[in-house]
Structure 1
Amino acid sequence: MSKYFGTDGFRGEANKVLKADDAYKIGRYLGWYYSREHRGRIVIGKDTRRSSYMFEYALVAGITASGSDAFLLHVTTTPSVAYVVRTEEFDCGIMVSASHNPYYDNGIKIIDGNGHKIASDIEEAMENYIDGIVEELPFATGEAVGTATDYAIGRNRYIGYLISLATRSYKNMRVGLDCSNGSTSSIAKSVFDALGAKTYVIGNEPNGLNINKDCGSTHIENLQKFVLENKLDVGFAFDGDADRCIAVDETGMEVHGDYILYVCGKYLKENGRLEGNTVVATIMSNLGLFKALEKSGIDYLKTTVGDKYVNEAMVEHGYVLGGEQSGHIIFSKHATTGDGMLTAIMLMEVILEKKQSLHTLCENMKMYPQYLQNVRVIDKKAIIENEAVQRKKHEIEKMLGENGRIILRESGTEPVIRVMAEATTDELCRQLVEKMVSVIEDNI
């Protein structure tokens, strides 16, 4: 496992875990790396949290000091950075965001020239540079010093691209949007207005401190209430950097990523557009999704948790749809990352073409109750492989058969093991997790 870079970049509390110096060194390394054979071009976006400005400027200083040019999208979404990188011949892109985390956290996500997350060997090299393991990099001098350029036009092109993907007018559709006081605050309403919807918006007054605070995809209860109070047809909630989308149907029901994979997968299959007849999901997706896909004659591929791994599997096999229950949904014909705005537009396509409500589209997928508990440990791998732990896990699996499952997963960011059970009732899920946790604690 990398020291700083996890599955979603270098993330932590601003100026405690992730410091301005770290951003400067990342900029220095990337500026040097991409200017070895030509003048590097690196595009930068940020979300609305207060520390994003600090990290943006530190990155620019490092990039230009190493001889590459920096192009600033300013406040924008993670998927817009990926779009601009791959369509406008940039060497790489950087997004300053901690996604769904609170305002005091921040992160640096790096995207390669093809719009995918950067290779692990480059991340490792940056970590070595941050820690001073490798020698100091040369500074650019004279005409070789890089420049910084306002590039808001790139964000506007992304907005135009989203609008171009809609196949029908949204006229007469009443749509709710929760922008999480984040990156979509200046984007989402303009896109849905341009497509003809009557839009109702909450969470669109960012002040640097309120991103994700009691709003957005991690606090879906606000949008549920908003949809019901205003009698809306559908609602969409995004996270801070808009790489996630959770929907709410007209009854106020949460339509999370597993529902979205089912609805869109079935629609693509019906239209002959589901390459390989396969949807990619993670091991943490609900058993109800897999059973619903089987009933619809759709195959599925499970990956470990993380949209990075979902994307890798999609690229390897040429699949077009994949994602996570959290709302990271990838439509690979249109994007290389999870894209909340794109997901909302794709769901609108299904609703309008099928002439059915979102609730009706979801009703044939039955969710299994789930219960999750984290157990703090010292050696995650040793506990997972412990004989008594494995024996209890197999015992539970045998008892559940096809009517549930038990999952033990090492966290990629914390010293914890996540224990998750799915079964026919909430009470049974809780009992099974408690039994599993008891065995783990006895063997710590």
Structure 2
Amino acid sequence: MARLFGTDGVRGRANDQLTAELALRLASAAVSVLGADTNSGPDESGRRPRVVVGRDPRASGELLEAALCAGLAAAGADAIRVGVVPTPAVAFLTADYRADFGVMISASHNPMPDNGIKFFAAGGHKLADNVEDAIEAAMDAPAPRPTGAGVGRLVDAPDAEDRYLHHLAGALDGSLDGLTIVVDGANGAAATVGPHAYEAAGATVIAINCEPDGLNINDRCGSTHLDVLQAAVLEHGADLGLAHDGDADRCLAVDSTGAVVDGDMIMAILAIDMHERGELVDDVLVATVMSNLGLHIAMREAGIDVKVTGVGDRYVLEELRKGYSLGGEQSGHIVVPAVGTTGDGVLTGLMLARRVASTGRRLADLASVMSVLPQELINVPVSDKHAVAQAVVVSDAVQEAETKLNGSGRILLRPSGTEQLVRVMVEAGTAQEARAIAEQVAKVVADV
């Protein structure tokens, strides 16, 4: 049987693979595992387990929130409903409310029919694989059903957004006065808090795609569709544009010329900023194998070492726990442990804009520190991504491609953590060579 938890929680088409019944069982099982210290019901002091529950604006989030809260209450836990907030806000609020764990209902950058359930341990930290496995196992075990005063309660937290905004404001040393920023909220969780945070820091904000209706999240907008932001930046003559995904744990940018500034470039800019401020521990940046070779070259020239991990923010987080202070992914998922326990797109945007404001330089100039090696990424839909990974014909195609590159580039294949896709990434000396090799390998993958 396939593992229920993927690389970022439990995801699926809402009310199909991800049903209310499944959400209720997950919630009950999570209380038995993550609320174990309070033993699923009032402890000797009368305190029940406390759980922060947030969601993005997807219509199905209302259904899943109701089911999760029912499962939590039935297992003897109190649900603190924080409403529509970014994923990093749930992580922060789990710690700020001193909750036993937190739950975020979101499928991040996935299209609207999908949804997901992600758990945070006490303190707002992501769960280890063995803890997720324990929750999955507990779903089939008899669950305690307290009665009377032992039944959990549902409590709304009207101050949740203000707490999170105050946290963001405290993390920014500096002002964005004088900057005009276009903010694309992806009609998602950052639609309100994103513009508010940038305005509070002093920027003039032009908000686009910040009118969620439950159905339009990530719909031709946000960090997966940057053309809308590029056009808006040019139209308004803005200093920069910032794009978030559906749950706002990512940030990509557009400079004043309309050029895209991806996660690698953002990491390069922030690493140099933190290096100059004396905040970059051991002068180390943590990045994944998907980061462009140009990032490695730029960091080496700046006297910064790059520690490389597997793909996925959990691997970046594991490396950061060794004491480092900045890490992230090309996708714009960037973590600053001194401020948050997970990637925070709004915080990333604030830090990037602060660098522009404090230096008085254009974002294009700051991003020019890194020269991008031509990279081609093809997402190949497949029926079984695990079968592709084991196919001999695919490994032979990769070996042949590496021979062609002859040390002047690299090729990487990896299955998506959330969809039936295999990502084929090739870097080479020219864009034409990268595209040709990527297309050749992608065809082999598609035929498996």
Map of 1:10 onto structure 2: 10
Residue of structure 1 aligned with 2:299, choices 285, 293, 300? 293
Map of 2:20 onto structure 1: 20
Note the C-alpha offset of 1:419. 2.3
The farther-off stretch of 413-422 and 70-79 is 413-422
Note the C-alpha offset of 1:208. 0.6
Note the C-alpha offset of 1:309. 1.2
Residue of structure 2 aligned with 1:326, choices 324, 328, 331? 331
The farther-off stretch of 82-91 and 416-425 is 416-425
Note the C-alpha offset of 1:441. 7.0
Distance 2:22 2:411 in 1: 39
Map of 1:397 onto structure 2: 402
The answer on whether the counterparts of 2:188 and 2:246 sit within 8 Å (CA) in structure 1 is yes
The answer on whether the counterparts of 2:106 and 2:117 sit within 8 Å (CA) in structure 1 is yes
| Aligned-partner SS, 1:169 | coil
Map of 1:183 onto structure 2: 189
Residue of structure 1 aligned with 2:99, choices 83, 90, 96? 90
Note the C-alpha offset of 1:398. 4.5
Aligned residues: 438
The farther-off stretch of 412-421 and 299-308 is 412-421
Distance 1:432 1:29, change over 3 A: same
The answer on whether the counterparts of 1:46 and 1:52 sit within 8 Å (CA) in structure 2 is yes
| Aligned-partner SS, 1:24 | helix
Distance 1:389 1:47, change over 3 A: closer
Distance 1:117 1:74, change over 3 A: same
The answer on whether the counterparts of 1:170 and 1:197 sit within 8 Å (CA) in structure 2 is yes
Structure 1, unpaired ranges of 5+: none
The answer on whether the counterparts of 1:409 and 1:417 sit within 8 Å (CA) in structure 2 is yes
Residue of structure 2 aligned with 1:256, choices 244, 262, 269? 262
Distance 1:195 1:425, change over 3 A: same
The farther-off stretch of 265-274 and 321-330 is 265-274
Note the C-alpha offset of 1:82. 0.6
Map of 1:348 onto structure 2: 353
Note the C-alpha offset of 1:156. 1.2
Matched, 1:50 2:56: no
The answer on whether the counterparts of 1:170 and 1:195 sit within 8 Å (CA) in structure 2 is yes
TM superposition score normalised by structure 2: 0.92
Corresponding letter in the other structure for 1:376: V
Distance 2:385 2:62 in 1: 37
Map of 1:68 onto structure 2: 77
The answer on whether the counterparts of 1:14 and 1:106 sit within 8 Å (CA) in structure 2 is yes
The answer on whether the counterparts of 1:31 and 1:64 sit within 8 Å (CA) in structure 2 is no
The answer on whether the counterparts of 1:176 and 1:200 sit within 8 Å (CA) in structure 2 is yes
Matched, 1:232 2:238: yes
Distance 1:349 1:42 in 2: 34
Map of 1:307 onto structure 2: 313
Distance 1:62 1:268, change over 3 A: same
Note the C-alpha offset of 1:308. 1.4
| Aligned-partner SS, 2:190 | helix
Map of 1:137 onto structure 2: 143
Distance 1:160 1:415, change over 3 A: closer
Distance 1:381 1:102, change over 3 A: closer
Note the C-alpha offset of 1:287. 1.6
The answer on whether the counterparts of 2:74 and 2:152 sit within 8 Å (CA) in structure 1 is yes
| Aligned-partner SS, 1:351 | helix
Note the C-alpha offset of 1:372. 2.6
Map of 1:218 onto structure 2: 224
| Aligned-partner SS, 1:138 | coil
Query: Deviation string for 1:258-313 (max 9, x for gaps)?
Result: 11111111111122211121111111111211221122221111111111111111
Map of 1:121 onto structure 2: 130
The answer on whether the counterparts of 1:375 and 1:419 sit within 8 Å (CA) in structure 2 is no
Following superposition of structure 1 onto structure 2, how do residues 149-164 of structure 1 map, counting pairs within 5 Å? 149-164=155-170
Matched, 1:357 2:357: no
Distance 1:393 1:202 in 2: 41
Distance 1:172 1:67 in 2: 51
Distance 2:333 2:429 in 1: 26
Note the C-alpha offset of 1:392. 4.9
The farther-off stretch of 24-33 and 376-385 is 376-385
Distance 1:211 1:10, change over 3 A: same
Query: Deviation string for 1:38-96 (max 9, x for gaps)?
Result: 32010011111101111111111110111111101011110011111123311100001
Corresponding letter in the other structure for 1:5: F
The answer on whether the counterparts of 1:258 and 1:325 sit within 8 Å (CA) in structure 2 is yes
Note the C-alpha offset of 1:29. 1.5
Note the C-alpha offset of 1:334. 0.5
Query: Deviation string for 1:166-192 (max 9, x for gaps)?
Result: 222322211111111111112122222
Map of 2:89 onto structure 1: 80
Map of 2:411 onto structure 1: 406
Matched, 1:367 2:359: no
Query: Deviation string for 1:415-444 (max 9, x for gaps)?
Result: 5543221112222112222443466678x5
Structure 2, unpaired ranges of 5+: none
Distance 1:311 1:352 in 2: 29
Note the C-alpha offset of 1:368. 1.7
Following superposition of structure 1 onto structure 2, how do residues 30-49 of structure 1 map, counting pairs within 5 Å? 30-33=30-33, 34=35, 35-36=38-39, 38=43, 39-49=48-58
